[in-house]
Amino acid sequence: MNSIIIYLLWYNQYLLKQISILLLFIAKYIPLKQWAFDDSHSPEYQKFKVDKLPKIFIAEQIDYQLLLAYYKHKYGKVVKPINRKSDDTIPETIRCPRCGAPHQYLYKNNGSRGQYLCKVCNEHFNELNIYNRPLSLRCPYCGNILVAKKDRKHFRIHKCTNSRCSYYQKNLSKLPKDLKHANKHKYKLHYLYREFTIDFFKMDLHELPKSAINFSFKKFNSHIMGLCLTYHVNLKLSTRQTSHALEEIHGIKISHTMVANYAMTAAAVIKPFTDTFDYKPSNILSADETYIKVKGIKHYVWIIMDACKKSILGYQVSDNRAVGPCIIAMRMALEKFKTFPGKALKFVADGYSAYPLEASNASFKKAGILM
């Protein structure tokens, strides 16, 4: 017995020595600069990251007459109207959108390009000025106003187009030195924000599908429906095979469409029970998506599962890999918590950007999910 313990101790010391030799080899022959482009530090993985929330700018308007009185009181000088040239006229209808100063106090800031400068409040503006909007989104790094670039099915993409933005410059410096200028569009360089255009928290998760029917049987009865479900669900026969089996075995003539309607109706009845069941989930959730082909058409299946109890808390089937089905599946999973664990909740997912995008949503941020 003592010899076995001595041998294990000796073998343990031998393994520790081998580990130290490997660490010295790695530190000597593998440069640290190579690690800078591994995994999340590489510019290839930048497209999978979700940027932090933008700054919301609310335009505050002031009165130019109060500003003129303030300048006279503090500096003892009167702000005089502009003594402009005859060929540099500004229409009388144009006023400063911030302070309301008339055209006598406005400059043509960039000639004929349409930008003006107010002499009273020093505001640059044009026809698309921010004071004509209720609020504006600004880049959290440079403060530049975000520009709406693309409209997707469930959200709108806003982009910071400032080439001097620190976020853009930092990502630009990570690109390979030998990269051609024409290939820069393959990398995510600018700050992006996705504004959701639909409120997923007001959607009904338990509504019946359109193809479901009721149980007021006219031609058949509940026993025939049970036979349909037995062949179709338990024996995994198709609707046409189920229809053929019922005719050959039981002498019941029923169409495959009616079999599909029975299956859909039964699923719709069972669905609220499975969705509202008290699963008592743990604080570790895992998510993944895959695709299946139905009649040659690709569909995606989203599953949110309790990593400890292996119970499915949220699911969704869609014909696309967009953000919307992912949000609904996550919402179904979060509904299972009677007392939300807050920051103790851990969410495990792959690198698909839809998952961190949902976690960055204000509602999920407030919940405190850890990704």
The per-residue pLDDT for 366 is 47
The per-residue pLDDT for 323 is 80
pLDDT bracket for residue 128 (50, 70, 90) = low
pLDDT tens digit sequence for 220-242: 788 888 899 999 989 989 999 99
Q: What average pLDDT does the segment 193-218 reach?
A: 68
Q: What average pLDDT does the segment 135-144 reach?
A: 85
Q: What average pLDDT does the segment 55-65 reach?
A: 81
Q: What are phi and psi of 84, to 5 degrees?
A: -90, 165
Q: What average pLDDT does the segment 252-272 reach?
A: 86
* Residue with more model confidence, 353 or 117: 117
The per-residue pLDDT for 246 is 92
The per-residue pLDDT for 159 is 92
Of residues 335, 358, 201, 349, the one with CA closest to residue 284: 349
Q: What average pLDDT does the segment 188-211 reach?
A: 74
Cβ–Cβ under 8 Å, residues 122 and 129? no
State yes or no: pLDDT of 165 exceeds 80.
yes
The per-residue pLDDT for 248 is 92
The whole model's pTM is what?
0.54
The per-residue pLDDT for 306 is 92
State yes or no: pLDDT of 213 exceeds 70.
no
The per-residue pLDDT for 241 is 94
pLDDT bracket for residue 200 (50, 70, 90) = low
State yes or no: pLDDT of 87 exceeds 70.
no
State yes or no: pLDDT of 173 exceeds 60.
yes
Cα separation, 169 vs 163, whole angstroms: 7
State yes or no: pLDDT of 77 exceeds 80.
yes
Cα separation, 262 vs 228, whole angstroms: 8
Average pLDDT in the chain: 81
Domains in the chain (CATH in brackets) are 64-132 (no CATH), 141-197 (no CATH), 201-276 (no CATH), 280-367 (3.30.420.10)
Cβ-based neighbours of 209, under 8 Å, separated by 6 or more: 264, 268
| Per-residue buried b or exposed e for 297-331, using 16+ beta carbons within 10 Å of the residue's own CB | eeebebbbbbbeeeeebbbbebeeeebbbbbbbbb
CB 194: neighbour CB atoms within 10 A? 19
pLDDT bracket for residue 82 (50, 70, 90) = confident
pLDDT tens digit sequence for 311-352: 999 888 888 887 888 888 888 888 888 887 777 888 888 877
pLDDT bracket for residue 191 (50, 70, 90) = very high
* Residue with more model confidence, 126 or 225: 225
The per-residue pLDDT for 362 is 39
State yes or no: pLDDT of 94 exceeds 80.
yes
pLDDT bracket for residue 25 (50, 70, 90) = confident
